[in-house]
Amino acid sequence: MIRMYCAYIFLLLNGLAFQSSATEAPELFEVLRNKVLSVHDYTAKVKMKINVNYMRIPQLAGVLYYKSPDKMKLERNGGLSILPKKNINLTLRNLIPSGDVLVIDAGADTIEGKTVRILKVVPTDDGAIVLTKIWVDEARMVAMRTETTTRDEGTVIMDLRYDKYVSFALPDNVTIHMDIKEYKLPKGVTMDYNDLPDAKNIKKVKNKKGTIQISYLNYEINKGISDSIFEKE
């Protein structure tokens, strides 16, 4: 009986030691956020596919320019440039709350065979973001998935996959899931196509979900980008 009691105490102490060695949720979030914020600008060759059930949009290709906190421009092959509207500028930085936040450990999950921690992040201010859930790969310190709920623009889910640029928390592939009725595609994306339905017909479409798939072929990171790049032409 004494031996069993000692064994129980040993297992209990080991369990407590394991729990205390795990990174606390607020600390984990702060490390991840600082890693994301370390990217001040980048230029990347990209391929982008917009999937919407009521329109056919061919794959876009070009050069994507980004400068923190929220400047972005896609220069398409052929010369047409797109300055995305605020609600289509869906960088990881913009989907992770800034400022003071409440971080809650929401347990564990598995994505593509990797065990990840789920963090619920609630901003304490009255900004655009209401709640963000982040699926964190602690071994590589990257977000594998985010689910961000905003006050005015619905919920955006982003799946991210990493390879060559994981040290900067920059993905090689991103899939953005969103409710199209909550978003307006930039005019530069839609202006080339004559089969777009008018507003009345769009309202009749039952499934208004859509995805944006982006493949980053390479990056030039933190080289400095002039603000003039983002001026309207």
Write the CB contacts of 113 (distance below 8 Å, at least 6 apart in sequence): none
pTM of the model: 0.77
pLDDT for 8 equals 38
Residue 87 has pLDDT above 80, yes or no: no
pLDDT band at 115 (very low <50, low <70, confident <90, very high): very high
Residues 201-225 as b or e (16 or more Cβ within 10 Å = b): eeeeeeebebebebbbeebebeeeb
Task: Find the range with the poorest average confidence among 132-136, 140-144, 162-166, 203-207.
Answer: 203-207
For residue range 14-70, what is the model confidence (pLDDT) as tens digits?
A: 444 334 336 899 999 999 999 999 999 999 999 988 887 766 777 889 999 999 988
Task: Find the range with the poorest average confidence among 68-72, 85-89, 164-168, 177-181.
Answer: 85-89
**Can you tell me the distance from the alpha carbon of 214 to that of 60, in angstroms, rounded to the nearest whole number?**
9
Query: Which CATH homologous superfamily contains domain 22-227?
Result: Lipoprotein localisation LolA/LolB/LppX (2.50.20.10)
Task: Find the range with the poorest average confidence among 176-185, 187-196, 209-218.
Answer: 187-196
**Can you tell me the distance from the alpha carbon of 62 to that of 82, in angstroms, rounded to the nearest whole number?**
10
Token readout for 86 is 């605020």
pLDDT for 79 equals 56
pLDDT band at 81 (very low <50, low <70, confident <90, very high): low
Q: Which residue has the higher pLDDT, 104 or 150?
A: 104
Residue 175 has pLDDT above 50, yes or no: yes
Residue 172 has pLDDT above 60, yes or no: yes
pLDDT band at 96 (very low <50, low <70, confident <90, very high): confident
Cα separations in angstroms, 146 against 25, 44, 76, 93, 179: 16, 22, 27, 11, 15
Q: Per-residue pLDDT averaged across 199-215, rounded?
A: 65
Residue 188 has pLDDT above 50, yes or no: no
pLDDT for 110 equals 96
Averaged pLDDT score across all residues of the chain: 78
Contact 185, 192 (CB under 8 A): no
Q: Which residue has the higher pLDDT, 55 or 4?
A: 55
Task: Find the range with the poorest average confidence among 8-12, 78-82, 83-87, 185-189.
Answer: 8-12
